[in-house]
Chain A
Amino acid sequence: MRASLALLLCAAAGVAQAADLRVSVVDGANLPVADAAVYATPRVPVPHGALPRTAIDQVHRAFVPLVSVVQAGTPIAFPNSDNIRHSVYSFSPAKVFTLKLYAGTPSNPVLFDQPGIVVLGCNIHDTMVAWVLVVDTPYFVRTAADGKATLSGLPPGDYELRAWNNSMAQEQAGEPVRIGGDALSPRQLRVDGQSLATVH
């Protein structure tokens, strides 16, 4: 699935100022992929202030939520709702960190400042795993059950459009998308050597 995941992008031509980009994600078998992250990274980084922090809880020896998508620079807290202690770690290059065994909520959240895929584990509970997709854009959304999602309010400009879910070990190459100006013409894109996405 990871290898055959197709990203179907449907960009709807809209207003000159801002536009909504409708996207549908399918896999290699043309089946819709739910809960996939769809995000568009502007060519020109968008400056931002301090980002609100979020949290990944640990409940019944599992991370909740399983998959998180955050903008780079977001601090994530790792509360422990279990009555046992956990030791959260990541060896992923985007964010390497280790929280020593703890219970409750650590005092400092972890700042995810580099875009990339971060796989989280617990050092003493091998079955616990969670994914955090760190993106360098505020425009990201999760697909619905029908594999569709809409990126709303994209200012005109050039973007790299990508889709990802946790079966994928690495991010795909970006699909260039221009918002504003000429209308989008449909074309085929290859992702991981496969024709997967169609941008509208």
Chain B
Amino acid sequence: MRLNTLRSKMVVFLVALLGIVQITVFALVNTATTNAARTKIDDELTVGEKVFASDLKQNADRLAQAATVLASDFAFREAIATGDGATVDSALENHGARVKAAVVLFVDLQGMVVDDTLRVGAAPRRFEFQSLIAQAKSAGQAAAIETLDQRVLQLVAVPVQAPLSIGWIVIGFPVDQPLATQLRNLTGLQVSFVTEQDGRWNILASTLSTDQSQTLTARLPSYRQALLTRVISMPQQHQLRVVPLGESGSQHFVAVLQRPIDDAMGSFRMLTAKLVVLGLFSLALSITGSVLIAVGITRPIDALLQAVKRMRGGDYSIPIAIHRGDEIGILAHGLDHMRAGIAEREQRILKLAYEDSLTQLPNRSQFSERLQREIVSAGEQHRMLAIFVMDLDRFKYVNDTLGHSVGDHVLREVAVRLRNLLPEDDCVARLGGDEFAVLVPTGDEERVVSLAKSIILALEQPIDFAGQPLDVGASIGIALYPSHALDAQTLVRNADIAMYVAKRNRSGYTLYDPHYDTTQQQHLSLLGELRRAVEQGELRLYYQPKVTLSSAGVHAAEALIRWVHPVRGMVPPGLFIPFAEHTGYIKILTRWVLSEAIRQCGVWMRQHMDIEISVNLSARDLMTRDLPELISALLTEHGVPPHMICLEITESGFMEDPAHAQRVLDRLSAIGLRLSIDDYGTGYSSLSYIMKLPVNELKIDRAFVSNMSEDADMMTIVRSTIELGHSLGLKVVAEGIEDPKGYALLRSLGCDFAQGYYISPPMPAEALPGWLNGSIAIRRLPEAMIAQALAESGESSLSAAG
């Protein structure tokens, strides 16, 4: 039991209190008892002393009476009155013997001892104790203790009357052992007759043993002190009274009354012992009682304490089951009420904190925590787990064009589909916006991939909103534990990276590859260098010519950015453009590219080379408000007419925020700039949407072009795209032409412009004029070659038409 607990404090307090009470009571009772005992035995001794005095006086009276009787005896008086000396002597002796007197004297009226039983026949002498006679004369009788002939005697004097006083009979009685014994029997006290002279005590008679008598005389103090002494050590303690009896000269006669204190205290000692036993017993009883009470009080408090500990640990689930009518019961009830309230609120807070209110799916926080837990358990069980990070492809478009309520509907529907599709164990969460995540706690890579596929499939089904089908797809990035990352944060980031790759590649899902990450790492270090590149003029513009297929002339080129790194050499755009797009630095790059391209265009125009220059704009560039003004300023500065500049925008570039893109494109078009849809065919832009845009040109994605020679489907796509473009009044550009066959095919298909390595890789501006002069042979392929190409690809009908 620790000393600072409530229980131990109560026990200590109660025990101390009771102990103090017990000790106090005992002390009081004991003191009172002892005092009472001392008073009692003191009183007893005082009573004894009084009894002794009374007895002594009675004894004297008795003796005096005996003497009086003797003095009254007629014959005795006759003998004395008639003065018969011998008769008188014999009468004194005879009558003295009757009362057991030690000595009998006859003193005449002149105070002379006429007869003395101890000195028969002696000459008369003056009586030694005249005061005794004087006292007897006035009181009728007198008694005193005196020493006569070295004997201590109690003397009694009475007159002899015949019938007038004719003298005094003085009778002496011995103060001896029988007297002491007689007085002891009456008083119950030890009686000693003692004389004192010059500080020396001498026992005359005593009821004490011889040893004790000697001790007494040895220990008695001086006479005066002895009269005040109440206790003497014999060596055991005796109560004591010294009663003065008389004195003769320097000699004092006293009676010493005494008794052992132990005798008197015996019964009180017994009482004290009983009191101690009683005290100890009740103390033990009270300690037991107080411990029981303390335990009784503190047990429910302990239970409360346990409950509070549980709650402190965050466990609000167990009710506090203490049902009592007292304060603790009320406290427990209140605490339980509080616990229930906290539990409920915690549940609500948890819901708010961990649940997405729109879809009722776990939110990012809950997903992260769940992921961390799952990683721990997966790590312990040596199993794999996978996470998907998923982004809806055309959500922004839906949200912007159809409104937030539709967007919300889409998100809810996506949530329902994911939830229905995935087993209960798999955690589906909405990370924010149109981003979802799935935690697949078990399974191998095969299962994970098939799951990803089924998700893609499920989300490809159009979502119905008020009878209108909405087409939203999804891109999924997959990261696996432990092969891709060991912690939750990195795992999510890697899945994110994989998701972006999937989106870029339009591959639906992508399993994370460490390579993506290293690219990212390089990107990070690139930021600083990219800034320097702009400032130090490390960037270059290369130009890739666009051949007009109908005439084999070159009237346009695409400006492509190149970075001549002072250390790394030529850095391919693929390494820094996505990064620049990601970080927003692309705006700076685009500004530089526009400025340089327009300047170059102006240079060439002044050299009478009218080359229309295409510049790539990213989705972010479209977000720049002052883009049209900027371009206008540059055109003016370099004296370039707007139609000489073509802005190439990818489908994804405007599908992110179609409404805004529309507005910007309208303004750019109003300036007179030409607009081109880059990488056409990879996105999911609807034709109806494209028709609204003020574009002049479609640029077929290189993926279709480079494969069309071998792939009939690709060929069909390319052809239909060309036809579609033409039918909408747009020029069609094919890029990625790598061989003469493709070149020939495109021409036969009626494509307007061609661009690719077969014609020319991108080249510095200064190389272009020279190339223009030396490339006629390439541009003008022999007709035979074109016919062959057509024949091989099974497009003979077309060739006939071309």
Contacts and interface: CB of A to CB of B under 8 A. Distances in A.
B164 interface: yes
Interface string A91-126: 100001000000000000000000000011111001
Contacts of B164: 119, 129, 169
Given A91-B82, A119-B163, A121-B162, A126 B77 contact: no
B392 to A, nearest CB: 157
A128 interface: yes
B30 to A, nearest CB: 63
- Which of B78, B82, B161, B163 has the most chain A CB within a 10 Å cutoff? B163
Interface residues of B, number: 10
A121 B163 contact: yes
B771 interface: no
Contacts of A91: 77-78, 81-82, 162
B74 interface: yes
A164 B77 CA distance: 26
B82 A126 contact: no
A26 to B, nearest CB: 24
Nearest to B79: A91
Contacts, number: 23
A91 B82 CA distance: 6
A129 B163 CA distance: 7
A89 B81 CA distance: 12
Interface string B60-77: 000000000000101001
A91 to B, nearest CB: 3
B42 to A, nearest CB: 46
A123 B163 CA distance: 8
B212 to A, nearest CB: 48
Contacts of B163: 119-122, 126, 128-129
Contacts of B78: 91
A109 B72 CA distance: 27
Interface in A116-154: 119-123, 126, 128-129
Contacts of A122: 163
A120 B77 CA distance: 13
A123 B74 CA distance: 7
A108 to B, nearest CB: 21
Contacts of A96: 82
Contacts of A123: 74
A169 B108 CA distance: 14
Contacts of A89: 74
B641 to A, nearest CB: 187
- Which of B72, B74, B77, B82 has the most chain A CB within a 10 Å cutoff? B74
A2 to B, nearest CB: 11
B67 to A, nearest CB: 15
Contacts of B82: 91, 96
A126 B161 contact: yes
A123 B161 CA distance: 11
- Which of A91, A96, A122 has the most chain B CB within a 10 Å cutoff? A91
Contacts of B77: 91
Nearest to B163: A121
Nearest to B109: A169
- Which of A120, A122, A123 has the most chain B CB within a 10 Å cutoff? A123
A69 B161 CA distance: 23
B195 to A, nearest CB: 38
Nearest to A127: B163
Nearest to A96: B82
Contact of A119 (B72, B74, B162): B162
Contacts of A126: 72, 161, 163
Contacts of B72: 126
Nearest to A91: B81
Interface in B105-159: none
Nearest to B82: A91
A58 B495 CA distance: 164
B267 to A, nearest CB: 54
Contacts of A129: 163-164
Contacts of A128: 163
A123 B72 CA distance: 9
Interface in B476-502: none
Nearest to B72: A126
Contacts of B81: 91
Interface in B679-734: none
Given A91-B162, A123-B74, A129-B163, 10 more contacts: A89-B74, A91-B78, A91-B82, A96-B82, A120-B163, A121-B163, A126-B161, A126-B163, A128-B163, A169-B164
Interface of B: 72, 74, 77-78, 81-82, 161-164
20 contacts: A89-B74, A91-B77, A91-B78, A91-B81, A91-B82, A91-B162, A96-B82, A119-B164, A120-B163, A121-B161, A121-B162, A121-B163, A122-B163, A123-B74, A126-B72, A126-B163, A128-B163, A129-B163, A129-B164, A169-B164
**Which 3 residue pairs across A and B have the least CB separation, nearest first?**
A121-B163, A91-B81, A91-B162
